[in-house]
Structure 1
Amino acid sequence: MFYFYSEGKKLRLPIKQIIYAEILNHDLYITTNGWGTVHSRMTLAAFLEKMPDNFIRIHHSYVINTDFLMGVGYRECTVAGNVVLPVARGMQKTIEKYFV
């Protein structure tokens, strides 16, 4: 379980349901499978520290759960829900290793 605060409430979320996390204007948005998107005031680095090894940072603004990785292209990847996310140049080879 992942415990975090959102809008003054302490919440818990099953880690296996997290598809990806995005940082936008210093706010963390966590997109889940079945729970929608939840919001928290946390850095992406702090979020990643609490996640297991199948979560990787693919861009300065994105962390993905590789269990939901559906496709890899040049400087982009597709996760569950057909969401296309950017991949940093330096992370291209790393993400390709997870897509086997």
Structure 2
Amino acid sequence: MNPQLFISADLGHQHLFSFDLESIMRLEGVRNYTRFIPVKGQPVITCRSLGIYLERLPQQFVRVHKSYVINSRYILGINPHSHSILMTDGTSIPISRRKRTTIMRLLGKSR
């Protein structure tokens, strides 16, 4: 059985979600909210910051920008010209300037 991540989301009432970590493609943060984007299914929004979840995720999850944490298993490619990562769902995720060199080195080694 794959490792699970349990999150609480307020959908008018508290609801507990269980995600198989392998099924999470990325997390997107906006202020104190985090959106979980699964490979299949609907996104889930929680009222906790991205940093809270980053501490609980394994190494395959990489923070590439202040607003994005990606699951490195779903990287299709890296565009060095636009400083972005192309995910398998076609989404382009920006890489922050501060993290660019480290991320390019890290992801380059894992390819």
The reply to whether TM is greater than 0.5 is: yes
Rg larger for = 2
- Which blocks of at least 5 consecutive residues in structure 2 are unaligned? none
TM-score between the two structures when normalised by the length of structure 2: 0.83
Report how many aligned residue pairs link the two structures.
100
RMSD: 1.3
Structure 2 match to 1:18: 24
Q: CA deviation at 1:43?
A: 1.1
- Which blocks of at least 5 consecutive residues in structure 1 are unaligned? none
- 1: CA distance, partners of 2:95 / 2:72: 13
Q: CA deviation at 1:64?
A: 0.4
Which structure has more relative contact order (CA 8 Å, sep 6+)? It is 1
The 4+ residue runs of structure 1 with deviation greater than 3 A are none
TM-score between the two structures when normalised by the length of structure 1: 0.91
Matches within 5 A, 1:1-100: 1-7=4-10, 8-74=14-80, 75-96=83-104, 97-99=106-108, 100=111
Say which is worse superposed, 89-98 or 68-77, in terms of deviation. 89-98
